[in-house]
Structure 1
Amino acid sequence: MPVKTIEPARQTFTQDEAFNASVEYFKGDDLAARVWVNKYALKDSDGNIYEKTPDDMHRRIAREIARIEQRYANPLSEEEVYDAIKDFKYIVPQGSPMAGIGNPFQIASLSNCFVIGNQGDSDSYGGIMKIDQEQVQLMKRRGGVGHDLSHIRPKGSPVKNSALTSTGIVPFMERYSNSTREVAQDGRRGALMLSVSINHPDSEDFIDAKMEQGKVTGANVSVRIDDAFMKAVRDGENYTQKYPVFSENPKNVKDINAGKLWKKIVHNAWKSAEPGILFWDTIIKESVPDCYADLGYKTVSTNPCGEIPLCPYDSCRLLAINLFSYVDKPFKKDASFNFELFKKHLNIAQRIMDDIIDLELEKVDAIIAKIDADPQSEEIKAVERNLWLNIQRKALEGRRTGIGITAEGDMLAALGIKYGSEAGIEFSVEIHKTLALEAYRASVNTAKERGAFQIFDSEREKNNPFILRLKEADEKLYFDMLEYGRRNIALLTIAPTGTTSLMTQTTSGIEPVFLPVYKRRRKVNPNDKNVRVDFVDEVGDSWEEYVVFHHRFKEWMEANGISTDKNYSQEELNKFVKKSPYYKATSNDVDWMSKVKMQGAVQKWVDHSISVTINLPNDATEELVGKLYMEAWQAGCKGVTVYRDGSRSGVLIANDEKDEEQETMLTPFPTKRPEILDADVVRFQNSKDKWIAFIGLIDGKPYEIFTGFADDEDGILIPRWVNEGYIIKARNDDGSSRYDFQYKNKRGYKTTIEGLSHKFNPEFWNYAKLISSTLRHGMPIEKAVELINSLQLDSESINTWKNGVARALKRYVADGTEAKKQKCENCNSTSLIYQEGCLTCKDCGSSKCG
C-alpha cells in the first residue's frame, strides 16, 4: 500500500512580524515594506503570511524558474536565478508574476495584460454579452483587460429586433465599465481599456462619453487614429468615416470635418486627461505579430495602460530591468554604464521570461481544471472554459514576453545627464537599442535549445520595419534568426512600474523623477517627550511633518558629502536640488516636446509600446496639447496621454480662479423639485445586510438619495438587472406626497414601485431627507460624503446605512477631487484624491474602495 506523503507545515508570520522585518530589509522604507507585505508576500485566503521578507519571495521565484529550466538544455541554476532577481537590484518580475509564481494558495494567471474580442461578426447581443462575461472572468483572476468597440454598429443603424434601430457604442461602454466596477467592488478593482477607431461614425460619441460626470468610470478610453485622419487634420481636409470601419462596401458613410473632431479630442484630453490616443497605423505597421494576422494575431486593442497592443485572447507577462543598478560610481564625475553586465542580465531575463510562459501554462491548466470541477452546468461554464482554452493556445503558440525597464530617470541623473536633453535622448536610445538587440539575441539562442515559437516564419517578417531595423544594426543576429528562428513572437515593452519602483526605490519606468524631495506627516502623541507637533488636524490629532528624500537623490547627497540626517530649511533644500542632476528634470520641469521626441526615438527599439504620460501645468493651453499630439504622431510614437495638473472632468477648480466655469459648477440645483428625475440604482452589502439605493439625478449629478434593505420581506424587491429608471413625485389619495420608482422591464413595459418613502425604515427616510436637502442646495458631493461620515449615530443598523450611503455617493465624486479630512491607512498621508469612487493616495498609490 503506497505511503501518503504529508507536506510539512509552513511557517507563518504575523502582519507585524513581516512588516517589521521588511522595513529592516528596505533600510527603513516603511512604504516599500507595506506595499510588499500587502501585495506580494505569500499568503492564503485566511490571511496567514508565509514570507517574512522579499528575500523569501525571491527564493520562491528562483526555485520555480530553476524547476522549469531543468526541462531544457544548459539550465540556469536556482542560485543563478536568485542572484539575478534578489534585492530588486537587476531583474524584477512585475505584479502578477511576482505574486503568483510558486503560489499554491491562489488559482490565478501570471499574466498582467489581456485583450479579448470576437472573430468575424460580433455585433450581435450574443457577441457583446460574450465579451462582457469574458472580461469579468479575466478580472476575477486579477488581469487587466482591453477590447475594441469598432465592430458595434453605429447609433440609428437598422436592426431586426424589437428596437428596430441600434443604440450605438456608448451604452455598451457603460455596460463594460459597470462590469469592471462590479467584479471587484469590495477589493482591488479590475482595469479596463476600451478603444474605438476614429473611422467609426460613433467615434465622437465615444470621445464625449466620459465627459459626463459619473459615466464610464470603470474604464480608460483611447481612440485608434489612422494616418489618413492625421493628414486630414494637418491639411485642413475632410475625413470619411465608415461602418464597417475601412470597408470597401460600407453600410454607413459619414463625411466629417477632421479639424473639428480633432479639436474635440484635444479639448477633452485637456479637460479630463482622456481620451488617450493610439496611432494605429504606426502600431500595425511596426507590429511583428501582425505579420501573422491571418493566423489570429491581428492587433485589435491594448491593455489598460497602453503598453501592450494585442490580438484577441493573447496575454503578456511583465518584467522590468532596473537600469540604475548598471551605473558604476553613480553621481560621481567618472560614473559609467556597465554595458557588459547589462547584456549578460538581458540574456538571463529573456530566459526567465520564457520560463514564466511555461509557468503560466501550468496556471492555465489549473484554472481549466477548476472550471471542469465546478458544480455548474457545462452550458454555464462554456464561455469561461473556451476563454482560457483560447488564452492557452495563444500563449503556447506565440510565447509573447514583455521585458521593460524602470529607473530611466535615476540612471540618467546618476550619469550626470539631464533628462530630456539631447544628450539624454541620445543615451536613452542607446540603452533601448542595446536592450532590443540583446533580448532578440537571447530569444534566438533560446530557440536553438528549445525551438522557435510554433508559427515562426521568417518570410512573413522580412519587410517588417522593426525586424529590418534589427538587421541594419546587427546582421549576424538577423541571419541567426533566419536559421534558428526566434522563441518568442514579440518581446519588449515599457510599462508603468508603479509599486515595482517603490520596491526598487527608483523612478518609475521611463519617467523622470516626480520630486527629489517632499514632505510627509506622521501622527504623534503630543505628550511624548522630544516630540515636535507641526500640524493639528480637524479632529485634534497631532502630526509631525518630516522631509522625505527620493532614495537616489539621497544617494546623490551622500556622494557629495551632504548629510541626510540634519533638518534643513526649505531654502537649503532648494539649493541642494539646484546643485543636483535632478534640477529642472522633474516630471513638471522636463520640456514637453523633448519628452515626446524621446518617446518617439525610443519607440523605434520597442516592439510593443510605451506607457508614458506628459505632465502639463494647469495653465497649459489646448493649443499646446494639440501640438504635442501632432508631434507625437510625426515622431513615431504609438500612443500618447497628457495629464494637465488638476484636470479631470467635473473637478472644481482652484479658489483663486474666478471664471465662468467655476460659477456654473457651484450654482445650486433648482429648489423646486422636477416631477420626474432620472435615477441610478446602486446595490451594496455591509456585513451581512444587503442594501439598495435610489439616486435621483439632475444633469448626471445626485439630487436626492433614498436607501433601505433590499431583497427581503421588509425591503425593496426589484430584478437584479435593473440599474436605472426614474423617481417620480406623486400624490396619495389624501393629498400627501410620495416618491415612486419606475423602470422598464425586459419587454419594454413600465413597471412602477409606489411609495419609496413607505418601503424604508422611517429613521433611514429622515436621514435621507436631510442628505437630499444638502445635495439639492449645491453642497459638493465630496462634502456631503464628509458630512455623512461625520454623523454620530447610535444603532449598528443606522451606522451600516450611513456607510452604505457614503459608498453610493462616492461613485459621483469627480476623479481628482481632494479628500481633505481623511488620511491614508498605508502611509498616513493626507494627500488623498477620489479616483473612480475610491480614495487613492497620491504619495504611496494605495487605494481603498467602499
Structure 2
Amino acid sequence: MAVTEIDQKTEKLKKTYTNDEAYESALKYFNGDELAARVWVNKYALKDSDGVIYEENPDEMHHRLAREVARIEKKYPNPLSEEELYELFKDFKYIVPQGGPMAGIGNVFQIASLSNCFVIGNEGNSDSYGGIMKIDQEQVQLMKRRGGVGHDLSHIRPKGSPVKNSALTSTGIVPFMERYSNSTREVAQDGRRGALMLSVSVKHPDSESFIDAKLEQGKITGANVSVKIDDDFMRSVVDGVPYQQQYPIDSNNPSHVNEIDATKLWKKVVHNAWKSAEPGILFWDTIIRESVPDSYADQGYKTVSTNPCGEIPLCPYDSCRLIAVNLYSYVENPFTDKAKFNFDLFKKHVGYAQRIMDDIIDLELEKIEGIIKKIDQDPEGEEVKLVERNLWTNIKNKAEEGRRTGVGITAEGDMLAALNLRYGTANATDFSIEVHKSLALAAYRSSVDMAKDRGAFPIFDYAKEEKNPFINRLLKADPKLGEDMKTYGRRNIALLTIAPTGTTSLMTQTSSGIEPVFMPVYKRRRKVNPNDPETRVDFVDEVGDSWEEYTVFHHKFVTWMEANNHSTTKVYSQEELDKLVAASPYYKATSNDVDWLNKVRMQGGVQKWVDHSISVTINLPADVSEELVGELYIEAWKSGCKGVTVYRDGSRAGVLIADTKKEEEEVKSLFSKKRPSVLEADVVRFQNNKEKWIAFVGLMDGRPYEIFTGLADDEDGILLPKSVQKGLIIKNRDKEGVTRYDFQFENKRGYKTTIEGLSHKFDKEYWNYAKLISGVLRHGMEIADAINLVSGLQLDNESINTWKNGVERALKKYIPDGTKANKGKCENCGSDSLTYQEGCLICQDCGSSKCG
C-alpha cells in the first residue's frame, strides 16, 4: 500500500473513542449483551499500538472490512462491491472473519499478520542444537505477531542417543518441550499469551516421556500436546500385538529400534487424557491420507503438525486465516413447523466466503511485506535479523504458492435446534453431514471459478491429486466440478476447516462452531450494593459481599420461547425452567447431554467433507471410566476422525494440584527448610501503568520461595541488562551485620556481576511487603492463595497498589494451569468457577478471562 494511501486513511481515522464510549455503543449494538460488547471492544475494535480506539461499534468495523476487501476485489474480474460485502458482514449475520482478520484488516496502526495459525519446522540437519534453537526463535517471532504456532518434535533424537559434542548423549525430547513452553509463556501481547501445539509421533522412542511430561506439576504449562498415532499402532492396540518404535521415524534403516507393548502405552495415553485432558490424539495416517496439500509433499507441502487447536494441519512455514459462516442465519421460520434450511442462499454465500478468503490472502501478503520492511528498518545488525526475515520470507512464499484458506462454520447446535432436530440423534447427524457436503462442494466450485478468472495456485497439478480420497469424494458428488478443475485448475491448495469459535460465537450470539449449545438456561450472579433501594439481595457470601442471582437465557433459546408463545419477561421458578427446556429442541442436546459415541460418529461423518480438520471436544462427566475414554478414541479412529480431545469435568485441575496427603506433606516439608544462602532466581519484567517494573523470584525446587519487586529504571531502582532472565539471590550481611540480599548474574562472556542489596535498591515499603509475601510462600501457602492475599490488601497509596499488582502478575507465572482461584468471583457473571490458565483467570461458566 502506498504511503499516501495510509496517510489518507489515517486522516479519516482521526476520530477516537474512550473505552467507555465504545463499550456503551457496542452494548446498544448487541442489545444489552455485556459480554459480547466487552469482548468486541477488547479484541476487535480498531486500535493503535497505544490502545487508542478508532471504532465506536461493530458496524464501523464491518464497513472497514467491506472497504478493504472491496479494494482487493477491484483487482480481479467481476468484483463484489463494498455494499455487497457489507451486507454479508453486517450484524455478524452471514460471514464472519475470525480473530486476526477481523481485528487486523485495515489496521494501518499495527504491523501484524492476519493469519490465525502457523506451523514451523526444519529440513535437513534439524536435529542439531542450532536447528532446535532456530525453531525456538521462529516460534517467538510469530507469537509476538499474535499467531498461534505448532511444531513437531519427532525429528529430535531419543534420550541417550550419542551426539558429537561434550554432552556425549542426547537429553531427548522433554527438555526441549520445556524450552518451547517457557518461550511461549514469555511472549505476551496486551495480556494475551502465545498459543503453542507440540506434537510427537507415537513411533518415536521418547513418545512415552512426551505423554507423561505434562503430568508433573508446573511443567509444560505453555503448550498443548498431541500424539500423532498411526494406523499400525491402532491395529496393534485392537489386536493386542507388539508395535515397533524407531528413530528416525520414517527411515528404512533406523539407528534405534524398540519393540513395545502397544496396549500398555495406549492405556497410558488414555489414563493421562482421562486425568488431565491431554494429550490430544491426532490420527496421523488419516490426516496424511486425506490431505490434499500432501499431494505436493515433494514440493514442500508435507504436513508435519497442526495449529494449537488442531483444526489446521500444516506443512512448515504455511499459515492459515479463518472465516466462519453463520449456519443459523440460513434457517427460515426457525423453531416452527415451517422451519427450513435455505440451501440455495447458503451455497451462494459459501462461494462468496471462499472468494473473500482468497482476497484476505492478498491482504495478508501486504501485511507480510510490511513486516519484512519493518525488520529491514530495525536497528539491529543483519545477523540478528536474519532468522526473522527468512521466516517471514518463507511464510510469504507459501502463502503466494498455495493460497491456503480456512472457511468454516459456527452455530451448528443452534441451526439444528432451529430446525427442530436434536443434536446427537441420527436425523440431526445426517442433516449436518448434508450441510457440510454442500459447503465443501460450493467452496471448491468457487475456488475453481476463481482459478478461471484469477489463475490457479502456482503449483496446481491435476494429475498429482487424482488419487486423493477427498478430491475423489468431491468429484463423485459433482463430476462437472472435476471437469472444470481439470481445465482451469483451482485457486487454493486447501480450503476448509471447523475451528473453535469462542469469541466469534459471542458476536453472532449463537452456539460455538460444530459444538452443541453449552446450556440453554443458567444462573449468573451480580455483585450489588445492599443500600440501593432498587437492588434485590439473594445472598451474602463469606466475605460479606451482597449478590443478586438472575437467570440467563441462551439467545436462540429466547427465540424459541418467542416462537412458541412463552413469555420472555416472566420470572420463572426452577421447576418452570426445567419444563421449558424439556419442551424445547435443546432438551438432552447440550454439551453434557449428547451421547458421546454419537458425537464422535457425527464428527467422523462431517470430517469426510472437511479437507483440513475439526476442532471439537467430547465433554464427559467426572465419574466416567478410563475404559470409556479408550472406547471413544477407538470409535473416533474407526469413524474417520482426524483428531479427538476429551475433557472429563474437573480433570484439568485434578492432575495439577496435589491430590494425595503424601504429596501435600512433601510440599509442606519442602518449605520448612532453612533458607539456603544461595537460591536460583527468575527475573520477571512487566509494565504497570506504562512504568517498567522488575521482580526477582527466588526458587526452591522450581517453586517461588521469595519475591522482591520494584521499579526497574528509577534512579534508585535496578538497572539490569534485558538479556538477563535468571541468576542467583545470595543472602549476605553488610558491615553493620544487617542482612541483605544480593543478585548475581552471568553475562554473555561468562563474567559474573553482582547487584548488592536488593533490599536497599527498592522502596522500603515495597521491601516490607516483600518480606510479608516471601514469608507466607516459605511457610507453604499455595501460590494462588498468596495471590489472593496480595490482591486483598487494602492499600491507599497508588504507588503501593501498583506494587501489589506487580507481585500478582509475577507470581501468576508459577500457577499450574487448571488451579482453582480460591474464593475468586468472576467480574462478569459472579461465578466462583475461576481457574488459572497460562497466568490468566478464566471463568469456566461464561468464558471471560482476565490476565495479570
TM-score normalised according to structure 2 size: 0.92
Tell me which residue corresponds to 1:135: 139
Aligned with 1:841 (options 840, 843, 847):
843
SS at match of 2:698: strand
- The offset of 1:650, in angstroms, is 5.2
Structure 1 counterpart of 2:821? 819
* CA-CA distance at 1:828 after TM superposition: 5.5
The 1-side partners of 2:788 and 2:257 are apart by 50
Q: 1:464 to 1:763 in 2, by over 3 A?
A: same
Letter in 1 for 2:660: E
1:681 aligns with 2:685: no
Counterpart of 1:696 in structure 2 is 699
Task: Quote the residue 1:151 is aligned against.
Answer: 155
How far apart, in 1, do the equivalents of 2:265 and 2:740 lie? 45
Contact 1:652 1:662 in 2 (8 A): no
Task: State the distance in 2 between where 1:175 and 1:668 align.
Answer: 25
Question: Contact 2:193–2:838 (CA<8 Å) still a contact in 1?
Answer: no
1:51-84 residue CA offsets vs partner (Å, 9 max, x unmatched): 2221111111111112211111111122221222
Query: Aligned-pair distance for 1:692?
Result: 2.9
Q: 1:754 to 1:107 in 2, by over 3 A?
A: closer
Listed one character per residue, the Cα deviations across residues 595-643 of structure 1 (whole Å, up to 9, x for unaligned) are: 1111111111100000001111111221111111111111111111111
Between the aligned partners of 2:64 and 2:683, the Cα distance in structure 1 is 42
Q: Does 1:298 align with 2:302?
A: yes
1:466–1:751 distance in 2 versus 1, CA, 3 Å: same
Matched residues in 2 for 1:436 and 1:566: separation? 43
Give secondary structure in 2 for the equivalent of 1:692. strand
CA contact (8 A) 2:693 2:709 kept: no
Letter in 1 for 2:331: V
CA distance in 1, matches of 2:529, 2:759: 47
User: What value does the CA root-mean-square deviation take over the aligned residues?
Assistant: 3.0
Whether contact under 8 Å (2:275, 2:655) holds in the other structure is: no
- Asked if 2 retains the 8 angstrom alpha-carbon contact of 1:197 and 1:203, the reply is yes
- Secondary structure of the corresponding residue to residue 162 of structure 1: coil
The equivalent residue for 2:114 is 110
Q: Which residue of 2 aligns with 1:166?
A: 170
Superposition deviation, residue 759 in structure 1: 7.9
Question: In 2 relative to 1, CA 252–36 (structure 1 residues): closer, same or farther, beyond 3 Å?
Answer: same
Q: Are 2:285 and 1:281 equivalent residues in the alignment?
A: yes
Q: 1:194/1:663 Cα in 2 relative to 1: closer, same or farther (>3 Å)?
A: same
2:69 equivalent to 1:70: no
Alignment partner of 1:23 out of 5, 12, 27:
27
> Counterpart in 1 of 2:786?
784
Aligned length: 842
Contact 1:437 1:470 in 2 (8 A): yes
Structure 2 spans left out of the alignment, 5+ residues: none
1:609-758 to 2 correspondences below 5 Å: 609-648=613-652, 661=660, 664-665=663-664, 669-670=668-669, 672-673=672-673, 679-687=680-688, 688-698=691-701, 700-705=702-707
Amino acid at match of 2:838: E
Give SS of 1:648's match.
helix
Q: Is 1:378 the equivalent of 2:371?
A: no
Distance 1:501 1:173 in 2: 32
Q: TM-score, normalised by structure 1?
A: 0.92
Change (3 A) 1:777 1:236: farther
Q: 1:545 to 1:236 in 2, by over 3 A?
A: same
Contact between 1:651 and 1:815, CA under 8 Å: does it hold in 2?
no
Q: Is the alpha carbon distance of 1:777 and 1:571 closer, same or farther for their aligned partners in structure 2, counting shifts above 3 Å?
A: farther
Q: Is the 8 A contact 2:424 2:602 kept in 1?
A: yes
Residue 325 of structure 1: SS of its match in structure 2?
Answer: helix
Name the aligned partner's letter for residue 790 of structure 2.
Answer: I
1:656 maps to what in 2?
A: none
2:93/2:326 contact within 8 Å kept: yes
Q: CA 1:787 to 1:642, structure 2 compared with 1: closer, same or farther past 3 Å? A: same
Tell me if the contact between 2:528 and 2:535 (Cα under 8 Å) persists in the aligned partners: yes
Structure 1 equivalent of residue 319 of structure 2: 315
2:465 to 461, 483, 493: 461
1:523 Cα deviation after fit = 3.2
Tell me, in whole angstroms, the C-alpha distance in 2 between the residues paired with 1:634 and 1:609.
16
Task: Work out which of the residue numbers 531, 537, 550 in structure 2 matches 1:533.
Answer: 537
Q: Displacement of 1:685 after TM fit? A: 3.0
1:455-489 Cα offsets, whole Å, 9 max, x none, are 00011000001011112211111121111111100
Please show how residues 587-598 of structure 1 align to structure 2 within 5 Å: 587-598=591-602
After superposition, the Cα gap between the structure-2 partners of 1:726 and 1:297, relative to the gap in structure 1 and judged at 3 Å, is: same
- In structure 2, C-alpha distance between the alignment counterparts of 1:579 and 1:338, rounded to whole Å: 25
Matched residues in 2 for 1:821 and 1:803: separation? 18
Deviation track 1:364-406 (CA, whole Å, cap 9, x = no partner) reads: 1121122222222222221111111111111111111100000
SS of equivalent to 1:480 = helix
Amino acid at match of 1:669: K
Query: In percent, how many aligned pairs have the same letter?
Result: 73
The residue matched to 1:82 in structure 2 has which SS? helix
Gaps of 5+ in 1: 654-658
Residues 218, 656 of structure 2: 8 Å contact kept: no
The question of 1:413 aligning with 2:417 is answered yes
Cα contact 2:144–2:189 (8 A) shared by 1? no
Distance 1:682 1:420 in 2: 50
Once the two structures are TM-superposed, the CA of residue 730 in structure 1 deviates from its matched residue by: 9.3
CA 720–105 in structure 1, closer or farther in 2 if over 3 Å, else same: closer
C-alpha separation between the residues in 2 aligned to 1:714 and 1:291? 63
Deviations 1:152-207 (A, max 9, x none): 12222222222222222122212211221112166211111111111112212211
Give distance in 2, aligned partners of 1:16 and 1:765. Answer: 36
Which AA in structure 2 matches 1:416? N
Match for 2:341 among 337, 340, 364? 337
Structure 2 partner of 1:82: 86
- My pick for the range that moved more, 831-840 or 569-578, is 831-840
For residues 110 and 81 of structure 1, the distance between their equivalents in structure 2, rounded to whole angstroms, comes to 19
Change (3 A) 1:56 1:489: same
Question: Which residue number in structure 2 is paired with residue 549 of structure 1?
Answer: 553
Q: Which moved more, 1:179-188 or 1:167-176?
A: 179-188
1:627-675, CA deviations, whole angstroms, 9 ceiling, x for partnerless residues? 111111111111111111111255588xxxxx97367447651164167
Paired with 2:660 and 2:625, the residues of 1 have a C-alpha distance of 16
Counterpart CA distance in 1 for 2:531 and 2:30 is: 30
CA deviation string 1:547-606 (max 9, x = no partner): 110001111111111111111111111111111111111101111111111111111110
* Equivalent AA in structure 2 for residue 149 of structure 1: L
Displacement of 1:108: 1.3
SS where residue 669 of structure 1 aligns?
helix
| 2:672–2:778 CA contact under 8 A, matched in 1 | no
Q: Counterpart of 1:523?
A: 527
Cα distance in 2 for residues equivalent to 1:675 and 1:256:
45
Matched residue, 2:37: 33
SS at match of 2:435: helix
Equivalent residue, structure 1, for 2:776: 774
1:493 CA displacement: 0.2
Instruction: Tell me which residue corresponds to 1:809.
Output: 811
Distance, in Å, in 1 between the alignment partners of 2:523 and 2:238 is: 45
SS at match of 2:619: strand
CA contact 2:402–2:492 (8 Å) conserved in 1 = yes
| Separation of aligned partners in 1, 2:256 and 2:754 | 39
Q: 1:723 to 1:310 in 2, by over 3 A?
A: same
SS at match of 1:695: strand
The answer to whether structure 1 residue 266 and structure 2 residue 265 are counterparts is no
Q: Classify 1:734/1:242 alpha carbon distance in 2 versus 1 (closer, same or farther; 3 Å).
A: farther
Question: Which stretch shifts more, 46-55 or 118-127?
Answer: 46-55
Q: Is the 8 A contact 1:740 1:754 kept in 2?
A: yes
